[in-house]
Amino acid sequence: MRYHNITKDDMLNGDGLRVVLWVSGCSHCCKECQNPITWDPNGGLLFDDGAKQEIFEELARDYVSGITFSGGDPLYFGNRIDVLKFAKEVKERFPGKTIWMYTGFIWETISSLEIMDYVDVLVDGEFLAEQKNTKLYWRGSENQRVINVPASRTEGKVILHCE
């Protein structure tokens, strides 16, 4: 897996203060995407032990709520195995922290993926420039949903995360 940035003390990509891993690789290529530099799966830096330790140091801070996977797309086919392994490791080491994930895929097509066993909140759907709304919390366009993953899996239907 490759990544472009690790953001610390982020308040825009999930609730609370978070650490954000901006992964490389995206096949959606949304018009007016805020991060087109992250589309190239070969761009950015190799996600190595140093990057992992940097994230773990942030997650060890009491005031950090959790990690957000963004990009690019964490569920880009070339990222799925590595993101799954890292999400598992995060949950094992920091069970009280939440995992948020942004993806251009929709819940109905990815809900059965093993990675969803570790995700607490999913922001799904491609960014649609014609539905852009800067007043929305945690999402850029009105088609995107902020989904409570554990509740949605239990109920068998989409349960939105409280905004």
The C-alpha atoms of residue 148 and residue 150 are separated, in whole angstroms, by 6
Taking phi over 0 as left and psi of -120 to 50 as alpha, with beta for the rest, 115 belongs to alpha
Q: What is the mean pLDDT of residues 103-131?
A: 97
pLDDT at 73: 97
User: What's the CATH code of the domain at 131?
Assistant: 3.20.20.70
Strand order in the sheet with 2-10: 45-46, 2-10, 17-23, 64-71, 98-102, 121-124, 145-148
Q: Is residue 160 part of a domain?
A: no
Domain range for 101 is: 2-155
Q: Which of 73-77, 113-117, 155-159 has the lowest mean pLDDT?
A: 155-159
Using left for φ > 0, alpha for ψ between -120 and 50, and beta otherwise, residue 9 falls in left
Nearest-angstrom CA–CA distance, 5 and 44: 8
Q: Which residue has the tokens 């999913």?
A: 122
- The answer as to whether 142 is a domain residue is yes
Supply the pLDDT for residue 29: 87
In a domain, 161, yes or no: no
| pLDDT for residue 163 is more than 60 | no
* Domain membership flag for residue 47: yes
Mean of pLDDT values over 136-157: 94
Share the mean pLDDT of the chain: 95
Query: What pLDDT band is residue 162 in, cutting at 50, 70 and 90?
Result: confident
Q: What is the pLDDT of residue 34?
A: 84
Percent of the chain with pLDDT over 90: 93
pTM, two decimals, is 0.95
How many domains does one find in the chain? 1
* Cβ density class 122-134: b for 16+ within 10 Å, e for less: bbbbbbeeeeeee
Candidates 16, 137, 27, 8; CA nearest to 79 is: 27
Q: Is residue 163 in a domain?
A: no
Average pLDDT over residues 122-142: 95
Residue 18's pLDDT band (cuts 50, 70, 90): very high
